[in-house]
Structure 1
Protein backbone atom coordinates (compact mmCIF):
# COMPACT_ATOMS: atom_id res chain seq x y z
CA UNK A 1 0.00 0.00 0.00
CA UNK A 2 2.87 2.43 0.83
CA UNK A 3 4.37 2.01 -2.63
CA UNK A 4 1.11 3.23 -4.16
CA UNK A 5 1.33 6.55 -2.31
CA UNK A 6 4.98 6.95 -3.28
CA UNK A 7 4.15 6.16 -6.90
CA UNK A 8 1.31 8.69 -6.90
CA UNK A 9 3.66 11.30 -5.42
CA UNK A 10 6.23 10.60 -8.14
CA UNK A 11 3.59 10.96 -10.86
CA UNK A 12 2.27 14.23 -9.43
CA UNK A 13 5.82 15.55 -9.03
CA UNK A 14 6.65 14.77 -12.66
CA UNK A 15 3.54 16.54 -13.95
CA UNK A 16 3.99 19.65 -11.81
CA UNK A 17 7.70 19.89 -12.61
CA UNK A 18 7.30 19.49 -16.37
CA UNK A 19 4.45 22.01 -16.47
CA UNK A 20 6.53 24.43 -14.40
CA UNK A 21 9.53 24.18 -16.74
CA UNK A 22 7.63 24.28 -20.01
CA UNK A 23 4.81 26.69 -19.17
CA UNK A 24 5.87 28.92 -16.27
CA UNK A 25 9.66 29.09 -16.66
CA UNK A 26 9.87 28.83 -20.47
CA UNK A 27 11.25 32.37 -20.92
CA UNK A 28 13.13 32.58 -17.62
CA UNK A 29 16.75 31.76 -16.82
CA UNK A 30 17.56 28.84 -14.53
CA UNK A 31 20.80 27.29 -13.33
CA UNK A 32 19.88 24.14 -15.29
CA UNK A 33 19.75 25.69 -18.79
CA UNK A 34 22.29 24.45 -21.31
CA UNK A 35 25.30 26.63 -21.99
CA UNK A 36 24.61 30.23 -21.03
CA UNK A 37 21.01 30.19 -22.30
CA UNK A 38 18.51 32.47 -20.60
CA UNK A 39 15.34 30.90 -22.05
CA UNK A 40 14.12 27.61 -23.50
CA UNK A 41 14.54 28.84 -27.09
CA UNK A 42 18.11 29.96 -26.39
CA UNK A 43 18.83 26.61 -24.76
CA UNK A 44 17.71 24.67 -27.82
CA UNK A 45 19.72 27.02 -30.03
CA UNK A 46 22.76 26.24 -27.84
CA UNK A 47 22.19 22.56 -28.59
CA UNK A 48 21.95 23.27 -32.32
CA UNK A 49 18.24 22.47 -32.46
CA UNK A 50 15.57 24.45 -34.28
CA UNK A 51 12.67 26.40 -32.79
CA UNK A 52 10.37 23.71 -34.20
CA UNK A 53 12.17 21.19 -31.99
CA UNK A 54 11.54 23.39 -28.94
CA UNK A 55 7.80 23.04 -29.41
CA UNK A 56 7.92 19.39 -30.52
CA UNK A 57 10.00 18.29 -27.54
CA UNK A 58 8.04 20.51 -25.15
CA UNK A 59 4.74 19.16 -26.41
CA UNK A 60 5.95 15.59 -26.08
CA UNK A 61 7.25 16.16 -22.55
CA UNK A 62 3.91 17.66 -21.51
CA UNK A 63 2.03 14.82 -23.22
CA UNK A 64 4.12 12.14 -21.50
CA UNK A 65 3.81 13.91 -18.13
CA UNK A 66 0.01 13.97 -18.57
CA UNK A 67 0.00 10.26 -19.48
CA UNK A 68 2.08 9.49 -16.39
CA UNK A 69 -0.30 11.53 -14.21
CA UNK A 70 -3.41 10.01 -15.80
CA UNK A 71 -1.98 6.55 -15.08
CA UNK A 72 -2.98 7.10 -11.45
CA UNK A 73 -6.49 6.22 -12.69
CA UNK A 74 -5.63 4.49 -15.97
CA UNK A 75 -2.64 2.24 -15.14
CA UNK A 76 -2.17 1.15 -18.77
CA UNK A 77 -0.84 4.66 -19.54
CA UNK A 78 2.08 4.41 -17.09
CA UNK A 79 4.56 2.50 -19.24
CA UNK A 80 4.00 4.40 -22.51
CA UNK A 81 4.21 7.75 -20.70
CA UNK A 82 7.27 6.81 -18.65
CA UNK A 83 9.01 5.19 -21.63
CA UNK A 84 8.50 8.29 -23.74
CA UNK A 85 9.73 10.51 -20.91
CA UNK A 86 12.78 8.28 -20.47
CA UNK A 87 13.76 8.63 -24.13
CA UNK A 88 13.39 12.41 -23.97
CA UNK A 89 15.43 12.63 -20.77
CA UNK A 90 18.21 10.55 -22.31
CA UNK A 91 18.19 13.05 -25.17
CA UNK A 92 18.36 15.97 -22.72
CA UNK A 93 21.33 14.42 -20.94
CA UNK A 94 23.05 13.85 -24.30
CA UNK A 95 22.51 17.51 -25.25
CA UNK A 96 24.13 18.69 -22.00
CA UNK A 97 27.13 16.48 -22.74
CA UNK A 98 27.21 17.72 -26.35
CA UNK A 99 27.72 21.32 -25.23
CA UNK A 100 30.09 20.26 -22.43
CA UNK A 101 27.88 21.54 -19.62
CA UNK A 102 28.93 20.83 -16.05
CA UNK A 103 27.47 17.53 -14.86
CA UNK A 104 25.12 19.29 -12.41
CA UNK A 105 23.12 20.80 -15.30
CA UNK A 106 22.03 17.27 -16.25
CA UNK A 107 20.65 16.59 -12.77
CA UNK A 108 16.98 17.38 -13.52
CA UNK A 109 16.96 15.25 -16.68
CA UNK A 110 18.75 12.42 -14.86
CA UNK A 111 16.26 12.64 -11.97
CA UNK A 112 13.27 12.42 -14.32
CA UNK A 113 14.93 9.52 -16.13
CA UNK A 114 15.32 7.64 -12.84
CA UNK A 115 11.73 8.38 -11.77
CA UNK A 116 10.43 7.23 -15.16
CA UNK A 117 12.41 4.01 -14.95
CA UNK A 118 11.01 3.42 -11.46
CA UNK A 119 7.47 3.80 -12.84
CA UNK A 120 8.24 1.29 -15.60
CA UNK A 121 9.88 -1.15 -13.18
CA UNK A 122 6.99 -1.04 -10.71
CA UNK A 123 4.58 -1.87 -13.51
CA UNK A 124 6.53 -5.04 -14.23
CA UNK A 125 6.83 -6.24 -10.61
Structure 2
Protein backbone atom coordinates (compact mmCIF):
# COMPACT_ATOMS: atom_id res chain seq x y z
CA UNK A 1 0.00 0.00 0.00
CA UNK A 2 1.15 3.51 -0.71
CA UNK A 3 0.89 6.44 1.73
CA UNK A 4 -2.36 7.78 0.23
CA UNK A 5 -4.04 4.43 0.97
CA UNK A 6 -3.27 4.92 4.67
CA UNK A 7 -4.64 8.46 4.55
CA UNK A 8 -7.86 7.22 2.94
CA UNK A 9 -8.23 4.54 5.61
CA UNK A 10 -7.71 7.20 8.28
CA UNK A 11 -10.37 9.44 6.71
CA UNK A 12 -12.81 6.52 6.54
CA UNK A 13 -12.24 5.78 10.23
CA UNK A 14 -12.61 9.45 11.24
CA UNK A 15 -15.82 9.96 9.25
CA UNK A 16 -17.36 6.59 10.08
CA UNK A 17 -16.71 6.71 13.82
CA UNK A 18 -17.70 10.38 14.08
CA UNK A 19 -21.08 9.73 12.45
CA UNK A 20 -21.65 6.71 14.70
CA UNK A 21 -20.70 8.81 17.74
CA UNK A 22 -23.20 11.55 16.88
CA UNK A 23 -26.09 9.21 16.15
CA UNK A 24 -25.52 6.34 18.60
CA UNK A 25 -23.60 7.75 21.56
CA UNK A 26 -24.49 11.45 21.73
CA UNK A 27 -27.96 11.92 20.20
CA UNK A 28 -29.39 13.29 23.44
CA UNK A 29 -26.40 15.37 24.48
CA UNK A 30 -26.20 19.08 23.72
CA UNK A 31 -23.34 20.26 21.50
CA UNK A 32 -22.44 23.63 20.01
CA UNK A 33 -23.04 22.18 16.53
CA UNK A 34 -26.79 21.51 16.89
CA UNK A 35 -29.17 23.60 14.82
CA UNK A 36 -30.95 26.51 16.49
CA UNK A 37 -31.15 26.10 20.26
CA UNK A 38 -31.67 22.32 20.09
CA UNK A 39 -30.08 20.11 22.72
CA UNK A 40 -30.90 16.74 21.10
CA UNK A 41 -31.03 15.40 17.56
CA UNK A 42 -34.82 15.15 17.67
CA UNK A 43 -35.08 18.78 18.82
CA UNK A 44 -32.67 19.75 16.05
CA UNK A 45 -34.90 18.17 13.42
CA UNK A 46 -37.88 20.06 14.89
CA UNK A 47 -35.88 23.30 14.53
CA UNK A 48 -35.50 22.44 10.85
CA UNK A 49 -39.24 21.78 10.53
CA UNK A 50 -38.71 18.03 10.09
CA UNK A 51 -40.55 15.22 11.85
CA UNK A 52 -39.31 12.74 14.43
CA UNK A 53 -39.92 9.98 11.88
CA UNK A 54 -37.70 11.76 9.36
CA UNK A 55 -35.03 12.05 12.06
CA UNK A 56 -35.12 8.28 12.52
CA UNK A 57 -34.93 7.68 8.76
CA UNK A 58 -31.93 9.99 8.38
CA UNK A 59 -30.32 8.43 11.46
CA UNK A 60 -30.78 4.95 10.03
CA UNK A 61 -29.28 6.05 6.71
CA UNK A 62 -26.32 7.83 8.31
CA UNK A 63 -25.52 4.93 10.65
CA UNK A 64 -25.86 2.42 7.80
CA UNK A 65 -23.65 4.46 5.47
CA UNK A 66 -21.07 5.01 8.23
CA UNK A 67 -20.92 1.24 8.79
CA UNK A 68 -20.62 0.70 5.03
CA UNK A 69 -17.79 3.23 4.90
CA UNK A 70 -15.99 1.44 7.73
CA UNK A 71 -16.57 -1.93 6.03
CA UNK A 72 -15.07 -0.47 2.86
CA UNK A 73 -11.67 -0.54 4.57
CA UNK A 74 -11.79 -4.29 4.02
CA UNK A 75 -14.20 -4.41 1.06
CA UNK A 76 -13.11 -1.65 -1.31
CA UNK A 77 -16.18 -2.01 -3.55
CA UNK A 78 -18.31 -0.41 -0.79
CA UNK A 79 -16.31 2.83 -0.73
CA UNK A 80 -18.35 4.86 -3.22
CA UNK A 81 -21.68 3.79 -1.73
CA UNK A 82 -20.64 4.92 1.76
CA UNK A 83 -18.84 8.11 0.75
CA UNK A 84 -21.29 9.41 -1.84
CA UNK A 85 -24.27 8.58 0.38
CA UNK A 86 -22.78 10.37 3.38
CA UNK A 87 -21.69 13.36 1.29
CA UNK A 88 -25.27 13.81 0.04
CA UNK A 89 -26.75 13.56 3.53
CA UNK A 90 -24.14 15.93 4.93
CA UNK A 91 -24.96 18.43 2.20
CA UNK A 92 -28.54 18.20 3.45
CA UNK A 93 -27.28 19.02 6.95
CA UNK A 94 -25.59 22.16 5.69
CA UNK A 95 -28.70 23.20 3.78
CA UNK A 96 -30.79 22.81 6.95
CA UNK A 97 -28.36 24.93 8.96
CA UNK A 98 -28.56 27.63 6.29
CA UNK A 99 -32.37 27.34 6.18
CA UNK A 100 -32.69 28.24 9.85
CA UNK A 101 -29.96 30.90 9.58
CA UNK A 102 -27.57 29.19 11.99
CA UNK A 103 -24.12 30.75 12.35
CA UNK A 104 -21.77 29.22 9.76
CA UNK A 105 -19.64 27.50 12.40
CA UNK A 106 -22.53 25.10 13.11
CA UNK A 107 -22.11 23.71 9.58
CA UNK A 108 -18.38 23.14 10.01
CA UNK A 109 -18.46 19.42 10.95
CA UNK A 110 -20.74 18.59 8.01
CA UNK A 111 -18.58 20.68 5.65
CA UNK A 112 -15.38 19.04 6.91
CA UNK A 113 -16.82 15.54 6.50
CA UNK A 114 -18.04 16.39 2.98
CA UNK A 115 -14.46 17.40 2.13
CA UNK A 116 -13.14 14.17 3.65
CA UNK A 117 -15.69 12.16 1.64
CA UNK A 118 -14.78 13.99 -1.57
CA UNK A 119 -11.12 13.11 -0.98
CA UNK A 120 -12.10 9.48 -0.40
CA UNK A 121 -14.22 9.48 -3.57
CA UNK A 122 -11.50 11.17 -5.65
CA UNK A 123 -8.88 8.58 -4.71
CA UNK A 124 -11.33 5.69 -5.11
CA UNK A 125 -12.34 6.28 -8.73
- Return the TM-score normalized by structure 1: 0.97
Tell me which moved more, 100-109 or 4-13.
4-13
Task: Give the structure 2 partner of residue 70 of structure 1.
Answer: 71
Within 2, Cα distance between the matches of 1:15 and 1:88? Answer: 13
Within 1, Cα distance between the matches of 2:73 and 2:79? Answer: 8
Deviations 1:31-52 (A, max 9, x none): 0000000100000000000001
Tell me which moved more, 113-122 or 42-51.
113-122
Residues 1:34 and 2:35 are matched in the alignment: yes
Task: Give the structure 2 partner of residue 98 of structure 1.
Answer: 99
Within 2, Cα distance between the matches of 1:74 and 1:37? Answer: 37
Which segments of 5 or more consecutive residues in structure 2 lack a partner in the other structure?
none
Deviations 1:34-86 (A, max 9, x none): 00001000000000000011111011011111111111111110001111001
Question: Which ranges of 4 or more aligned residues in structure 1 deviate by more than 3 Å?
Answer: none
The count of aligned residue pairs is 124
Within 1, Cα distance between the matches of 2:70 and 2:82? Answer: 9
Task: Give the structure 1 partner of residue 90 of structure 2.
Answer: 89
What RMSD, in angstroms, separates the aligned Cα atoms of the two structures?
Answer: 0.7
Deviation at 1:4, TM superposition (A): 1.1
Deviation at 1:24, TM superposition (A): 1.1
